Amino acid sequence: MSRADLEKQPYDVATMFDGIARRYDLMNDVAAMGQVGMWREKMVESLDIAAGDQVLDLAAGTGTSSAAIARAGAQVVAADFSLGMMTEGRRRGAPVPFVGADAQHLPFADDSFEAAVISFGLRNVHEPRLALAEMSRVVRPGGRVVVCEFSTPTWRPFRTVYENYLLRALPAVARRVATSADAYDYLAESILDWPDQEALRGWFAQAGLEQVKYRNLSGGIVALHRGVVPAR
Ligand SMILES: C[S@@+](CC[C@H](N)C(=O)[O-])C[C@H]1O[C@@H](n2cnc3c(N)ncnc32)[C@H](O)[C@@H]1O
């Protein structure tokens, strides 16, 4: 997928992730400059897990996010549509079952989970609002839907520095560390193209979610949105 191509067609996105699977987690740590562990910790906290809760980790990739949720005591199902990412997760012994699934058409019955989360995945989905509706459908009433995603830094001078980092430094680093520099051009473009915190909050409300809240992490580089599934 090239830099200008932000169509996010499912086949192209899955193929792109197949191509970066081996280096994905390493590149993630480098690109996030050591912040990714803290972002995951906050994501897990916001799921409010009770021991044994069934949790869907959507767009689970290699299962690194799923493993963090499992460590909090949940029974996790890791779903993704990139065979390459899931195979890499299995190879490394991720302690969760993987299920092949498109976020826009989930192969799960209504009310199957206590919570569903998508971290660093919704931005890549062709129709993100469809994915939010599907997450709401498969979570039981009173359960949680969480999105952890790159967002818009709130302090303008910092935002400018960050945009420069995304467009210049990150692709240069990716050329050294990752298997596909194009994928990191796409990463930068897709972050800059993504709706800000308030717009995503609006999508949660449109999906029928209640008590919608968000918090900024690392000055808004990442935002953590959470909503509750209403009684049906
Ligand atoms: C950046 S990785 C995130 C992996 C993991 N959640 C994490 O936090 O490290 C994004 C994942 O989203 C998956 N993805 C993108 N669109 C998807 C869709 N429509 N359905 C299922 N998975 C999707 C990709 O295959 C990729 O594995």
Measured between alpha carbons, how far is 8 from 10 in angstroms, rounded to an integer?
6
81 lines ligand 1 (CB under 6 A): yes
64 lines ligand 1 (CB under 6 A): yes
CA of 120 from ligand 1 middle (Å) equals 7
Residue 102 is labelled as binding a ligand: yes
Measured between alpha carbons, how far is 232 from 230 in angstroms, rounded to an integer?
6
Interval 49-67: pLDDT, tens: 999 999 999 999 999 999 9
66 lines ligand 1 (CB under 6 A): no
Measured between alpha carbons, how far is 188 from 169 in angstroms, rounded to an integer?
10
Average pLDDT, the chain: 92
CA of 124 from ligand 1 middle (Å) equals 7
pLDDT band at 5; cut points 50, 70, 90: low
Measured between alpha carbons, how far is 199 from 171 in angstroms, rounded to an integer?
27
Which numeric CATH code is attached to 10-228? 3.40.50.150
> What b-and-e string marks burial along 67-83, b requiring 16 or more CB atoms within 10 Å of the CB?
bbbbebebbbbbbbbbe
Indicate the top mutation candidate among 1, 82, 90, 194 to test ligand 1's pocket, ranked by most ligand atoms within 8 A of CB.
Answer: 82
Domain boundaries, the chain: 10-228
CA of 73 from ligand 1 middle (Å) equals 22
Per-position DSSP letters for 93-162, written without gaps between them: T-SS-EEE-BTTB--S-TT-EEEEEEES-GGG-SSHHHHHHHHHHHEEEEEEEEEEEE---SSHHHHHHH
Percent share of the chain, pLDDT over 70: 96
The residue type at 37: G
* Per-residue model confidence (pLDDT) at position 173: 78
Interval 73-112: pLDDT, tens: 999 999 999 999 999 999 999 999 999 999 999 999 999 9
* Per-residue model confidence (pLDDT) at position 2: 42
Q: Which atom of ligand 1 is nearest to the CA of 21?
A: 27
Interval 206-219: pLDDT, tens: 999 999 999 999 99
Does 4 score more than 60 pLDDT?
Answer: no
Does 177 score more than 80 pLDDT?
Answer: no
- ipTM summary value: 0.99
102 lines ligand 1 (CB under 6 A): yes
pLDDT band at 179; cut points 50, 70, 90: low
**Residue 200 exposed, middle or buried by CB count within 10 Å (0-12, 13-18, 19+):** buried
Nearest CA to ligand 1 atom 10: 121
